[in-house]
C-alpha cells in the first residue's frame, strides 16, 4: 500500500464556515456532492513531502455545507482528527493538539500482500458474498473474527480493525485462548459500540475511520458485514484486492465464526476447513538406478561419443568410464569401503569429473573440497566429514572388483552455510539425484545437447550440470575458473562450443547478459535454466529480443541443497518477464510444496509463510547433526519434509511465489524494510542491468544505512531521483554506487563482503589520464592504494581480483582487457600502456 491509500478522513457539519480559510472548496448540489467527497477522501497524501493534511469545504443543496478533513495515517489518530475537524468547523477556543497515531510494528504493505494472489487487475469497487446460514452477530464479534484472520494473514498479533462511527480497535489475538475468551476480550474493548451496524474495514495496519457508507469503500481495501439473512458480504477495491483474495477472505471469516460457536482454541482454528493449498508435481516412476549406473549405460551404448571437453582436452564416454574405474580401484585398494566419505580437492578439469565418478563407483560419497576455499574452512570440513581418503591429484590402480551400490546409498555431502557460523554437511543419496533427473525428462535432453560445467562443484547446481548431462548422453564443457569469472571470455566459450543448455544464477547471468547484448552473433542456447537464488525476471525482455521464446526456452527452477537442487519449474515468457513475476511455478514430478505458518499450519492462498518441501528430493539430513536434522526435517503426514526457511505464498492458480528469506527484513530507525523492494525499483530503471542493496553501519555511533549498487550505463542522479519519487524517504538508500559488476561467491551468489566502499561519486570522466583511471579501479577493488609499478599479485591481488579489474575497466569504457593480459602485465603503468595502445583481444 503506498502513501496515497494510507489516509483517514472526518466529515463534519460546517454551516458557519466560510471558504476563505480553506485550501479549496466545491459548490455542488445533489448527487455530485457525494462523488466530490469520495474524490477528496481518496486523493493521496505524502507527509514526507509536506502533504500531511487536507481541508476541503463541500457545498450541498439548501446551503448545507460539509467540511472534509483528511490526514495521513502517520500524522494523526482518529479521535485527534475528529477533534481538529470540529474545531475547524467552529474555531472557538484553543486549537486541539493533534495526537500522533500509535506506531505499528510492521511493513505498511504487508497487510495487503495477501490481497493480490491472481492475475486480475482493475479499478473501482467490487462486491462478493458468501451464504453462511448463520444468525447475525454483533459487530464486535465480527471484529474478533477479522482479528484472527488478519493475524494469520499478516503475522501481526494485534491487528487494528476499523469500526463504524469513526473509530478502531486494537484486537490482540491470544492463540492459546478459547474462542469465547477471545470474543469477550474484543467485546470489552469498545462496549459503547454494542449495536452499531455490523460493518467494518479490514486489511490496513493503521486504523481506518469508518463514518458512513460514503467513506467506507474508499478508505479501506476491504469492508465486510454480515446481514440479517446470514450472508457475509465484502466490498473491495479492485486496484488492491482481486476476486480470489476476496473470496478467500470470506471463507476464512466464515471458518472462524463457525469455530467461535464451537469454542475452538484460537490457535487451532482451521481457516481452510480441510482445503490444503499444495503444489503437487504428481507421481514419479520409481527407479533403482545409481548415478554412475546411468553414466555407464551411456558409455556402453555410445563409447566413442565425447563426454567432456576443456580447451583442447577431451574424454570420450569410454575414456571417462575407464578413468573413473581406475580411480575407484585405487580407493578400494587404500581401504575405502561402501558408505565412506572421500574428499575431492581438484581444480575444474575433465579429470575432476572422472574423480567424482570414481568415488561413486567405489560406493563412497564425494565431499567437495574446493581449493579456493580458505584453509580454515577446509580443515573444518575434513574433520567434520570424517574422510576416509582425499583425492588432491591424479590417482590410478589396476581394475579390481567393485562393490555393489544401492540407490539408497549416499552419493555426496555438500556443505552449506550454517546459522551458527559453522558449515553443515547435507547428505544426498543416489535415489534423490536420479529422481531429479527422471522428473525433468520434459526438457528432452539428449546426445545433441552441450552443457557447461560452470559452477563450483561445492555448489549443488553443479550436480545438475554434470550428471544431468552425462546421464542423458550430452557433452559437458568444463569451464575453467578464470573463464567463469570473466563474462566476456565465458560468452566467447559459449559461442565457440555451441552450448545448448545453460544453467546460471541470476547474479552471474546479469554479467553475461550485458556482454550478450553487445555481441554480434547469437548464442546456440535452446534452454536457459535459472537457479540458486531469487530471480528478478524484469531483466529478461532484453534476452528475449535476441532469443525469442520459440528459439530459447527460459525456466526458473527453485530449489535447495536439502531437497536436491531443484523443486519447482516455471517457464518464463516475455509476458511474465514484463510483469516482473516472482513465481517459481509448480512442483516437479515427485516433489510436493506447501506454505505453512510459524505453528506449522497450512495458510490460505495469497498468505505468506514458510515453504516446506516433501517428496523424492528430501535428503536424509545433516551429517552428524541429529538434533538439527530433527528440527529442519520433521516427519509429517506425507513422510519426511524439509522446512526451508524461505518465505513464499501460493497463488490462486497453484503456482508458488518465492519471496526471499523469512529473515530478509531489516529494521532501520523504527521501519521494517524489505531490501528486495528497493532492488526491484532499481531494476525498473532501463539503464540498470543489475542491482544490490545492502545494510551497513558507519560512523562512531554505528548508524545503520542502506547502500545500493548498480551495474550499467547509469546516470546516478537520475537513479536517485527515481528512487525518491517511488519510495518513502526511509527506504531511499543513503548511497548509490556504480560498479562494473557485482562480486560473486564461488557459488555465483552476491558476495556482500567484496562490494566496494559506498560512494555517491560517478566514475571518473574520460578526460582523466588512463593510469589515474586504472589506479582508481585498483583502489576500488583492492580497497587499498598501489604504486604505478606495484605487482598486483604481490599487493593482495589474485585471479578473482584480476577478473573484477578487467570487468570494471570494460564497465568504465576504458578499453578491452582480459584476465590473461593482466597476468602478463600486472602493474598499473603497464596496463595503462596496453589500454592506450588499444587493448587486446
SS (H, E, C) 558-608: CCCHHHCCCCEEEEECHHHHHCCCCEEEEECCCEEEEEECCCCCECCCCCC
> Is pLDDT at 465 greater than 90 in this prediction?
yes
Q: What are the tens digits of pLDDT across the range 398-414? A: 999 999 999 999 999 99
Q: Check residues 536 and 263 and name the one with the higher pLDDT.
A: 263
Q: What are the tens digits of pLDDT across the range 227-262? A: 888 899 888 878 778 899 999 999 999 999 999 999
Over residues 210-229, mean pLDDT = 59
Over residues 371-393, mean pLDDT = 91
- Whose CA is closest to 741, among 691, 779, 683? 691
CB 232 within 8 A of CB 130: yes
> Percent helix, strand, coil in the chain (nearest 5)?
35, 25, 40
> Is pLDDT at 703 greater than 60 in this prediction?
no
> Is pLDDT at 353 greater than 70 in this prediction?
yes
Task: Give CA–CA dist 708/731, Å, rounded.
Answer: 11
Is the pTM for the entire model greater than 0.75?
A: no
> Strand 527-530 vs strand 568-572: parallel, antiparallel, or unpaired?
unpaired
Q: Strand, coil or helix: what is 477?
A: strand
Residue ranges and CATH numbers for the domains of the chain are 3-89 (no CATH), 114-275 (3.30.559.30), 291-656 (3.40.50.12780), 666-752 (3.30.300.30), 770-836 (1.10.1200.10)
Q: DSSP for 653-713?
A: TS-EEEEEETT-EEEETTEEEEHHHHHHHHHTSTT-SEEEEEEEEETTTTEEEEEEEEESS
CB 319 within 8 A of CB 304: no
- Whose CA is closest to 305, among 608, 314, 34, 313? 314
- Whose CA is closest to 456, among 534, 378, 370? 370
pLDDT of residue 664: 56
Task: Give CA–CA dist 4/49, Å, rounded.
Answer: 12
pLDDT of residue 837: 76
- Whose CA is closest to 334, among 304, 358, 312, 302? 358
pLDDT of residue 808: 83
pLDDT of residue 840: 47
Q: Check residues 64 and 815 and name the one with the higher pLDDT.
A: 815
User: What average pLDDT does the chain have?
Assistant: 82
Over residues 691-701, mean pLDDT = 70
CB 363 within 8 A of CB 388: no
Task: Give CA–CA dist 773/810, Å, rounded.
Answer: 12
pLDDT of residue 205: 35
pLDDT of residue 667: 53
> Is pLDDT at 7 greater than 60 in this prediction?
no
> Is pLDDT at 534 greater than 90 in this prediction?
no
- Residue tagged 448527487 (cell numbers): 31
pLDDT of residue 189: 80
Terminal CA-to-CA distance of the chain, rounded, Å? 51
CB 553 within 8 A of CB 526: yes
pLDDT of residue 835: 86
CB 719 within 8 A of CB 685: yes
Supply angle C-alpha 89, 92, 93, rounded to 5.
130
The least confident of 452-456, 726-730, 753-757 is 726-730
CB 141 within 8 A of CB 187: yes
CB 821 within 8 A of CB 835: no
Task: Give CA–CA dist 390/543, Å, rounded.
Answer: 42
Q: Strand, coil or helix: what is 322?
A: helix
Supply angle C-alpha 516, 520, 524, rounded to 5.
65
Q: Check residues 92 and 387 and name the one with the higher pLDDT.
A: 387
The least confident of 115-119, 467-471, 498-502 is 115-119
Confidence of residue 193 (pLDDT cuts 50, 70, 90): very low
Over residues 798-810, mean pLDDT = 76
> In 315-471, which ranges are continuous DSSP H helix?
317-333, 350-361, 375-385, 430-439, 461-470
SS (H, E, C) 379-416: HHHHHHHCCCEEECCCCCCCCCCCCCCCCCCEEEEEEE
CB 648 within 8 A of CB 608: yes
Q: Strand, coil or helix: what is 458?
A: coil
Amino acid at each position: 500500500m503506498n502513501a496515497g491509500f494510507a489516509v483517514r478522513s472526518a466529515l463534519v457539519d460546517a454551516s458557519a464556515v466560510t471558504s476563505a480559510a480553506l485550501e479549496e472548496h466545491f459548490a455542488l448540489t445533489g448527487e455530485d456532492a457525494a462523488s466530490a467527497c469520495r474524490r477528496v477522501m481518496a486523493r493521496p497524501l505524502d507527509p514526507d513531502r509536506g502533504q500531511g493534511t487536507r481541508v476541503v469545504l463541500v457545498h450541498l443543496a439548501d446551503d448545507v455545507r460539509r467540511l472534509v478533513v483528511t490526514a495521513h495515517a502517520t500524522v494523526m489518530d482518529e479521535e485527534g482528527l475528529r477533534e481538529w475537524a470540529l474545531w475547524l468547523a467552529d474555531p472557538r477556543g484553543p486549537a486541539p493538539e493533534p495526537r500522533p497515531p500509535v506506531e505499528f510494528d510492521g511493513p505498511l504493505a504487508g497487510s495487503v500482500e495477501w490481497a493480490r494472489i491472481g492475475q486480475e487487475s482493475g479499478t473501482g469497487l467490487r462486491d462478493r458474498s458468501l451464504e453462511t446460514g448463520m444468525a447475525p452477530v454483533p459487530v464486535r464479534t465480527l471484529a474478533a473474527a477479522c482479528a484472527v484472520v488478519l493475524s494469520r494473514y499478516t503475522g501481526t498479533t494485534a491487528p487494528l480493525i476499523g469500526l463504524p462511527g469513526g473509530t478502531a480497535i486494537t484486537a490482540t489475538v491470544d492463540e492459546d485462548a478459547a474462542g469465547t475468551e477471545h470474543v469477550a476480550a474484543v467485546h470489552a474493548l469498545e462496549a459503547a459500540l454494542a449495536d452499531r451496524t455490523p460493518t467494518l474495514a479490514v486489511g490496513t495496519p493503521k486504523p481506518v475511520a469508518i463514518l458512513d457508507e460514503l467513506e467506507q469503500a474508499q478508505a479501506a481495501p476491504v469492508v465486510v458485514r454480515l446481514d440479517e439473512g446470514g450472508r457475509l458480504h465484502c466490498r473491495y477495491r479492485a486496484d488492491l484486492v482481486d476476486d480470489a483474495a476476496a473470496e478467500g477472505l470470506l471463507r476464512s471469516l466464515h471458518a472462524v465464526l463457525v469455530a467461535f460457536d464451537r469454542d475452538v482454541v484460537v490457535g487451532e482454528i482451521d481457516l481452510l476447513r480441510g482445503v490444503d493449498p499444495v503444489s503437487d508435481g504428481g507421481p514419479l516412476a520409481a527407479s533403482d538406478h545409481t548415478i554412475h549406473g546411468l553414466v555407464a549405460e551411456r558409455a556402453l551404448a555410445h563409447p566413442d561419443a565425447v563426454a567432456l571437453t576443456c580447451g583442447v582436452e577431451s574424454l570420450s564416454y569410454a575414456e571417462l568410464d575407464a578413468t573413473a574405474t581406475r580411480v575407484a580401484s585405487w580407493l578400494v585398494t587404500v581401504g575405502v569401503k561402501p558408505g565412506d566419505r572421500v574428499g575431492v580437492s581438484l581444480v575444474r578439469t575433465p579429470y575432476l569429473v572422472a574423480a567424482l565418478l570414481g568415488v561413486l563407483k567405489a560406493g563412497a560419497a564425494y565431499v567437495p573440497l574446493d581449493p579456493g576455499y580458505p584453509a580454515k574452512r577446509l580443515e573444518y570440513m575434513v574433520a567434520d566429514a570424517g574422510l576416509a581418503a582425499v583425492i588432491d591429484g591424479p590417482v590410478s590402480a589396476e581394475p579390481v572388483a567393485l562393490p555393489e551400490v544401492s540407490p539408497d546409498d549416499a552419493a555426496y555431502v555438500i556443505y552449506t552455510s550454517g546459522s551458527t557460523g559453522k558449515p553443515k554437511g547435507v547428505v544426498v543419496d543416489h535415489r534423490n539425484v536420479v529422481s531429479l533427473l527422471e522428473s525433468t525428462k520434459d526438457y528432452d535432453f539428449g546426445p545433441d545437447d552441450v552443457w557447461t560445467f560452470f559452477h563450483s562443484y561445492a555448489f549443488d547446481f553443479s550436480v545438475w550440470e554434470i550428471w544431468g548431462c552425462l546421464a542423458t548422453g550430452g557433452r559437458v564443457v568444463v569451464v575453467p575458473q578464470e573463464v567463469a569469472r570473466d563474462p566476456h571470455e565465458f560468452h566467447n566459450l559459449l559461442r565457440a562450443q555451441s552450448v545448448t543448455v545453460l544453467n546460471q544464477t541470476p547474479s552471474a547471468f546479469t554479467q553475461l547478459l550485458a556482454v550478450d547484448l553487445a555481441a554480434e552473433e547469437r548464442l546456440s542456447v535452446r534452454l536457459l535454466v535459472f537457479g540458486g537464488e531469487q530471480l528478478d525476471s524484469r531483466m529478461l525482455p532484453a534476452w528475449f529480443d535476441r532469443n525469442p521464446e520459440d528459439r530459447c526456452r527460459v525456466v526458473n527452477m527453485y530449489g535447495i541443497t536439502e531437497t536436491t537442487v531443484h523443486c519447482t519449474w516455471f517457464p518464463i515468457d516475455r509476458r511474465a518477464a514484463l510483469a516482473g513475476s516472482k513465481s517459481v511455478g509448480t512442483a516437479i514430478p515427485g516433489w510436493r510444496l506447501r506454505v505453512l505458518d510459524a505453528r506449522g499450519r497450512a495458510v490460505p492462498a495469497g498468505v505468506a509463510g514458510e515453504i516446506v518441501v516433501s517428496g523424492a528430493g528430501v535428503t536424509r539430513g545433516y551429517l552428524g547433526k541429529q538434533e538439527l536434522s530433527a528440527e529442519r526435517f520433521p516427519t509429517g503426514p506425507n513422510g519426511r519434509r524439509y522446512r526451508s526457511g524461505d518465505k513464499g505464498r501460493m497463488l490462486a492458480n497453484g503456482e508458488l511465489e518465492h519471496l526471499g528469506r523469512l529473515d530478509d527484513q531489516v529494521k532501520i530507525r523504527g521501519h521494517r524494510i524489505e531490501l528486495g523492494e528497493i532492488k526491484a525499483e532499481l531494476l525498473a530503471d532501463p539503464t540498470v542491468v543489475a542491482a544490490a542493496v545492502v545494510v551497513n553501519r558507519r560512523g562512531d555511533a554505528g548508524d545503520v544505512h542502506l547502500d545500493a549498487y548498480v551495474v550499467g550505463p547509469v546516470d546516478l542522479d537520475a537513479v536517485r531521483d527515481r528512487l525518491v519519487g517511488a519510495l518513502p524517504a526511509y527506504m531511499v538508500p543513503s548511497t548509490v554506487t556504480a560498479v562494473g559488476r557485482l562480486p560473486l561467491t564461488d557459488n555465483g551468489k552476491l558476495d556482500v563482503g567484496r562490494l566496494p566502499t559506498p560512494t555517491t561519486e560517478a566514475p571518473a570522466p574520460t578526460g582523466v589520464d588512463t593510469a589515474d583511471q586504472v589506479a582508481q579501479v585498483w583502489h576500488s577493488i583492492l580497497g587499498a592504494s598501489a604504486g604505478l609499478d606495484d605487482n598486483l599479485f604481490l599487493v593482495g591481488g589474485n585471479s578473482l581480483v584480476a577478473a573484477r579489474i578487467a570487468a570494471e575497466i570494460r564497465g568504465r569504457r576504458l578499453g578491452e582487457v582480459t584476465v590473461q593480459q593482466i597476468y602478463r602485465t600486472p602493474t598499473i603503468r603497464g596496463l595503462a600502456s596496453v589500454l592506450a595502445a588499444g587493448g587486446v583481444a
